[in-house]
Amino acid sequence: MASTSDIRNGLCIRHNNDIFKVIDFQHVKPGKGPAFVRTKLRSLTSGKVLDKTIPAGHKIVDVRVETHKYQYLYNDDQGYHFMNNDDYTQIFLGTELIDSPGLMKEGMNVDIAFNAEDEAPLTCNIPAHLILEITHTEPGVKGNTATNATKPATVETGATINVPLFINEGDKVKIDTEKGTYMERVKL
């Protein structure tokens, strides 16, 4: 058991029979009334974000979470298959546990968080930024660049993102995996 003074970013707690990760918190001491902690929690099972206010000194149930490096191998009808980089054991996860499954490239390393009590996988975190190659996009129309226009493009993993008109097939682009958006063109 922990108290509200132990709350920090990244702490995993049990609330309403679910495991939540603290995204943001703020200790508040109003001039009138008792102190409290305003938190923003993300469910590790469903991904929903919840705003929760906890009175100061209130007991919370913290959950020990262990993170291991895995390599993404492939996906099939059972799910997404991963291999542990340390002992080469393999596991598979469903789509609901993975942040952006459409942007995962075979052979890339990811972090998988496990509940330390029962070794159940909770979430799969891919890197915050990826560099992927554009495999298909329509050519941009010359002279149509005054309005920050974008066009759809398919990357090598099969996902579709919006890119500026000057991006062509074969270009490598940096993608923000949290939002699934184009960041910049990369010259290697």
User: Residue 48 is encoded by which pair of tokens?
Assistant: 């929903």
Last residue of a domain, one of 46, 62, 78: 62
* pLDDT tens-digit series, residues 145-184: 666 788 899 999 889 999 988 888 999 999 998 888 899 9
SS (H, E, C) 104-162: CCCCCEEEEEEECCCCCEEEEECCCEEEEEEEEECCCCCCCCCCCCEEEEEECCCCEEE
Q: Domain holding 147: CATH number?
A: 2.40.50.140
User: Looking at the structure, do residues 56 and 7 belong to the same domain, yes or no?
Assistant: yes
User: Looking at the structure, do residues 72 and 44 belong to the same domain, yes or no?
Assistant: no
User: Looking at the structure, do residues 69 and 120 belong to the same domain, yes or no?
Assistant: yes
Q: What mean pLDDT do residues 11-20 have?
A: 87
Last residue of a domain, one of 43, 62, 81: 62
How many angstroms from the chain centroid is the CA of residue 105? 15
Pairing label, strands 79-84, 109-115: unpaired
User: Looking at the structure, do residues 115 and 144 belong to the same domain, yes or no?
Assistant: no
User: Looking at the structure, do residues 11 and 58 belong to the same domain, yes or no?
Assistant: yes
User: Looking at the structure, do residues 6 and 39 belong to the same domain, yes or no?
Assistant: yes
How many CB atoms neighbour CB 63 within 10 A?
18
User: Looking at the structure, do residues 69 and 83 belong to the same domain, yes or no?
Assistant: yes
* pLDDT tens-digit series, residues 88-125: 999 988 887 887 888 888 999 999 888 888 888 888 88
Residue 35 structural domain: 2-62
Last residue of a domain, one of 24, 45, 62: 62
**Averaged confidence pLDDT in the chain:** 87
DSSP 41: E
How many whole angstroms separate alpha carbon 10 and alpha carbon 168? 39
Instruction: Output the pLDDT for position 145.
Output: 60
> Whose CA is closest to 134, among 96, 185, 180?
185
* Number of domains the chain contains: 3
Q: Domain holding 12: CATH number?
A: 2.30.30.30
Give the pLDDT band (50/70/90) at residue 142: low
Give the three-class secondary structure for 82: strand
43 pLDDT above the threshold of 90:
no
How many whole angstroms separate alpha carbon 92 and alpha carbon 7? 32
User: Looking at the structure, do residues 50 and 70 belong to the same domain, yes or no?
Assistant: no
60 pLDDT above the threshold of 80:
yes
Instruction: Output the pLDDT for position 12.
Output: 86
User: Looking at the structure, do residues 48 and 100 belong to the same domain, yes or no?
Assistant: no
Instruction: Output the pLDDT for position 64.
Output: 87
